[in-house]
Homo-oligomer: A and B are copies of this chain.
Amino acid sequence: MKPYIEMTAEELSEELKKLKAEYSKVQAKGMRLDMSRGKPCKEQLDLSMGMMDVLDSNSDLTCEDGTDCRNYGQLTGIVEARELIGDMMENNPKDIIIYGNSSLNVMFDTISRAYTHGIMGNTPWCKLDKVKFLCPVPGYDRHFAITQYFGIEMIPVPMTPTGPDMDIVENLVSSDADIKGIWCVPKYSNPQGISYNDATVRRFARLKPAAPDFRIFWDNAYGIHHLYDDHQDYLIEILAECKRAGNPDLVYKFSSTSKITFPGSGIAAVATSPNNMEDFLSHLRHQTIGHDKVNQLRHVRFFGDIHGMVEHMRKHAEIIRPKFEIVVSTLQKDLGELGIGTWTNPLGGYFVMFDSLPGCAKDIVSRCKKAGVVMTPAGATWPYGKDPNDSNIRIAPTFPSPEELQSAMDVFTLCVRIASAKKLLAEKQA
Contacts and interface: CB of A to CB of B under 8 A. Distances in A.
Interface of A: 37, 39-40, 42, 45, 48-50, 52-53, 55-57, 59, 61, 68-73, 100-102, 104-105, 108, 112, 115-117, 124, 126-127, 142, 145-146, 149-150, 262-265, 283, 286-295
Contacts of A108: 286-288
Tell me what chain A mostly uses at the interface: helix, strand, loop, or mixed: loop
Contacts of A145: 286
A116 B105 contact: no
Contacts of A149: 117, 283, 286
Contacts of A69: 262, 264-265
Contacts of A127: 126
B263 A72 contact: yes
A294 B52 CA distance: 10
A253 B87 CA distance: 41
A287 to B, nearest CB: 5
A407 to B, nearest CB: 21
Contacts of A105: 287-288
A194 to B, nearest CB: 24
7 contacts: A52-B55, A101-B292, A102-B290, A104-B289, A116-B116, A265-B293, A265-B294
Contacts of A142: 289
A292 B292 contact: yes
Given A45-B68, A72-B264, A126-B126, A50 B39 contact: no
Given A263-B289, A265-B293, A57 B52 contact: yes
Contacts of A55: 52
Contacts of A265: 69-70, 292-295
A40 B70 CA distance: 10
